[in-house]
Amino acid sequence: NAGVTQTPKFRVLKTGQSMTLLCAQDMNHEYMYWYRQDPGMGLRLIHYSVGEGTTAKGEVPDGYNVSRLKKQNFLLGLESAAPSQTSVYFCASSYLDSVDEQFFGPGTRLTVL
Amino acid sequence: KQEVTQIPAALSVPEGENLVLNCSFTDSAIYNLQWFRQDPGKGLTSLLLIQSSQREQTSGRLNASLDKSSGRSTLYIAASQPGDSATYLCAVIPGNTGKLIFGQGTTLQVKP
């Protein structure tokens, strides 16, 4: 099993550009999450999904959109990137929500100039 | 609002020493607590998961305890090794939400 994978690993954008981050898991997990990690702020939840076709807002959802068209994939979109979105983005998944451990991907380092 | 605090922020110890990392949370109504390890520039690796009904979990040289009533968890690392050098993160799931709330982490350096 590959576990949780993320593409791309690195990306540099100019302000106003758009992009999509892809997260894939092969563990048949129902729940998937997107976090961002910033120095001094720790990891914060952006959006999450409790199953195929569902999405919900987390702690810091503004400026991001997500989609879960297939159970194994969770996409994070930035429609108009801003320098404040420079961060490391992590995807995670779990079989159930509150009782199961979350498994994390390797992260995507995004810089917005 | 649930807040998670980890003390100390950084720790340096000689190889072979036993050590304890601390995690505290403000609301005792949690479903579980998870300890992670993060190496520089890498993702998070799950170390231990403690359900709210449990008091501790063990994996190899690692032992994590949970005291919900006092809002505390500790991660005990026995016979530390240079390979244990990393940032250790504590996270809780408050209530039935599935959303992890993270502490800032403790960066551990084990010197040979």
Q: Please indicate if any CB of chain A lies within 8 Å of the CB of B40.
A: no
A23-39 confidence digits (pLDDT tens) = 999 999 999 999 999 98
User: CB distance B105–A33 less than 8 Å?
Assistant: no
- How far apart, in whole angstroms, are the C-alpha atoms of residue B13 and residue B36? 19
Nearest to A101 among B34, B42, B105 (CB): B34
A92-96, B49-53, B77-81, B95-99: which is most confident: B77-81
Cα B12 from Cα B33, distance rounded (Å): 25
What does the alpha-carbon distance between residue B51 and residue A43 come to, in Å, rounded to a whole number?
21
pLDDT at A96: 78
**Is A61 within 8 Å of A47 (Cβ atoms)?**
yes
Q: Mean pLDDT over residues A52-64, rounded?
A: 94
- Please tell me if residue B94 touches chain A, with a CB cutoff of 8 Å: no
CB contact (8 A) between residue A104 and residue B45: yes
User: Are B98 and A94 a contacting pair at CB < 8 A?
Assistant: yes
With CB atoms and an 8 Å threshold, state whether B97 touches A45. no
Tens of pLDDT, residues B23-65: 999 998 888 999 999 999 889 999 999 988 999 999 999 999 9
Facing B46 at nearest CB: one of A35, A48, A101? A101
Q: Is the peptide bond before A8 cis (omega within 30 degrees of 0)?
A: yes
Contact status of A64 with chain B (Cβ, < 8 Å): no
**A1: contact with B, CB 8 A cutoff:** no
Instruction: Between A15 and B41, name the one with better pLDDT.
Output: A15
CB contact under 8 A, B102 and A43: yes
Residue A40 has a pLDDT of 82
**Strand pairing report for A108-112 and A10-13:** parallel
- Name the residue among B22, B92, B3, B84 with its Cα closest to residue B50: B92
To the nearest whole percent, how much of chain A has pLDDT over 70?
A: 97
